[in-house]
Amino acid sequence: MATKVKDPAELTVEEKLKNLYQLQTMLSEIDKIKTLRGELPLEVQDLEDEIEGLTTRIEKIQNEIVELKREIADRRATIETANSSIAKYKEQMDNVRNNREYDSLNKEIEFQQLDVELNQKKIREAEEAIQRKTEELAQSQESVTERRTDLDIKKSELDEIISETKAEEEKLRERSKNLELQIEPRLLAAFKRIRRNSRNGLGIVYVQRDACGGCFNKIPPQRQLDIRMRKKIIVCEYCGRIMIDPELAGVEVNKPAEEKPKRRTSRAKKAADE
């Protein structure tokens, strides 16, 4: 017979705290896995973006070179046409009947010669531009090759880490999702908000050496007693993290270590009385 799942709102404060701490433990393990991956996912993304940018740049340069070569071909065709016209006008000059025709043909020849010189200049400029862009293209292609090599290495490292941790992470995520269903939505939302705002991702912590396990500020004895009573949800007045007593969290407290400060305080008081 299937076990009926208890309504999260009907859980006792003790049960709520216990579920929250179990969830925190699972999420902390997931955080450790993410830390193990480090900056690799971001580095891989950056390299992919850089390669995409370089590839776009290479295509643009290649198109520009094609356009420059087309321009050179068009200008050479124009020069050839101009030279043909010059030759034709020179032939006509041998048969001119008056000075007006001679001057007119001479002007046409000069115009065509200027056009030839202008196109030759533009061809030289285009050839120089092609040379520059060819060098730029080679550099960009070399950069792409280097970045792809780096990307392959980074991806290999990331894939290796993911393959080692994927099963564990999926299991933890599945368990955490199931556990979230057992936590009151309002309390779960508050817990997640605290986690987002905390540097170490801890939303619930236990009392350590009379202090908050998150920010390590001292907790007054009466507040510690309230935490141990487990009658209400108590947060740290300094960092806002939810507090749980070590026993409920399943943490063994080293009592002798806690007694040492008391003995030192006692000796200091005795010395002061003397």
Predicted confidence (pLDDT) per residue in 174-186, tens digit:
999 999 988 989 9
For 9-22, what is each residue's pLDDT tens digit? 778 999 999 999 99
CATH 1.10.287.1490 residue ranges of the chain are 39-179
As a whole number of angstroms, the distance between CA 127 and CA 121 comes to 10
Say if residue 256's pLDDT is above 50.
no
Contacts of 57 (CB under 8 A, 6+ apart): 140
Say if residue 263's pLDDT is above 70.
no
For 117-175, what is each residue's pLDDT tens digit? 999 999 999 999 999 999 999 999 999 999 999 999 999 988 888 887 888 888 999 99
Look up residue 95 and give its two tokens: 């048969």
Say if residue 260's pLDDT is above 50.
no
Q: Which CATH architecture fits 39-179?
A: Orthogonal Bundle (1.10)
* Per-residue pLDDT, 254: 61
Question: What's the order of all strands across the beta sheet hosting 242-244?
Answer: 211-212, 204-208, 242-244
Q: Quick one: pLDDT band at residue 7, thresholds 50, 70, 90?
A: confident
| Mean pLDDT calculated for residue range 23-43 | 87
For 71-88, what is each residue's pLDDT tens digit? 999 999 999 999 999 999
DSSP classification of residue 212: E
* Selected residue with higher pLDDT from 274 and 9: 9
For 236-246, what is each residue's pLDDT tens digit? 999 999 999 99
Beta strands in the chain (DSSP E): 204-208, 211-212, 242-244
pLDDT > 70 in the chain, percent: 90
